Amino acid sequence: MTKRVAILISGGGSNMLALVKSMTEGHPARAVLVLSNNADAAGLQKARDLGVATSVVDHRPFGKDRTGFEAKLNEALDLAKPDVICLAGFMRILTPEFVAKWRARILNIHPSLLPKYKGLNTHLRAIKAGDFEAGCSVHQVTDELDDGPVLGQARVPVFPDDTAETLAARILPFEHKLYPLVLEKFATGDLSPVNLP
Ligand code: GAR
């Protein structure tokens, strides 16, 4: 049975686009919903252009009430009935209750070689630490931020004159390769790690 995939975004949605475009005929999964906490997320229109249903739940009216925000997210997700939820640049922290509801079904892409640099400003932190390599990781989402089992990583060199922007630009194309590879395997129940290049 083809797996149903919901993709959660907050911004440009380039990873979402790579995922949606990867789910062509013969693929074990297909995109059924792109959901954003930000009505202005550029990725929403890109998803619509590809014929994928979109929905928005603005987090701002909920203030610190993450449970209320997630109840609305769950309403949209319950309608879409996803087997897999891909966080793709979704910049909200999820509660343990949300993670429990979708247990073992949520994937995230993070722009660092986890377990290094959980959280924000990953590229700058790698440069400041003097790291010779950086990259991205796809992992299963658990209660702890950026902490679940790693299902794939891609590595790139860090050059002496790198800025956060140049390093991010070197990593992003690898995100677009890695995430679809991991999703395709995950959709068939294969949790063995992917390593790029
Ligand atoms: C990507 O680099 C992704 O790894 C990162 O946000 C960017 C989203 O870009 N995610 C995180 O930092 C999550 N903690 P996109 O909207 O073009 O896919």
pTM over 0.85: yes
State both tokens at 143: 């209660």
Pocket test for ligand 1, best of 7, 10, 15, 110 (most atoms within 8 A of CB): 15
Q: What is the pLDDT of residue 167?
A: 98
pLDDT tier at 111, thresholds 50, 70, 90 = very high
pLDDT tens for residues 35-62?
A: 999 999 999 999 999 999 999 999 999 9
Average pLDDT of span 153-161? 98
Alpha-carbon distance of 86 to 140, in angstroms, equals: 9
Which residues contact residue 155 at a Cβ distance below 8 angstroms, ignoring those fewer than 6 apart? 113, 133, 134, 135, 195, 196, 197
Indicate the helix (H) or strand (E) that contains 156: strand 150-157
Q: Dig out the tokens for 73 from the structure.
A: 């997210």
| Number of residues that make up the chain | 197
Q: Which atom of ligand 1 is nearest to the CA of 13?
A: 16
- Taking phi over 0 as left and psi of -120 to 50 as alpha, with beta for the rest, 19 belongs to alpha
Ligand 1 pocket mutation, candidates 109, 147, 174, criterion most atoms within 8 A of CB: 109
DSSP state letter for 60? G
Core vs surface per residue 49-63: b (16+ CB within 10 A) or e = eeebebbebebeebe
- What CATH number does the domain located at 106-197 have? 3.40.50.170
Q: Could you tell me the residue ranges of all domains in the chain? A: 1-103, 106-197
**pLDDT tens profile 176-197:** 999 999 999 999 999 999 999 9
Q: Which atom of ligand 1 is nearest to the CA of 110?
A: 4
Mean pLDDT of the chain: 98
* CB-CB contact of 13 with 46 (8 Å): yes
Candidates 3.40.50.170, 2.130.10.10, 3.40.1190.10, 1.10.3720.10; correct CATH number of 1-103?
Answer: 3.40.50.170
* Host H or E run for residue 77: helix 66-80
Find the distance separating the first CA and the last CA of the chain, reported in whole Å.
30
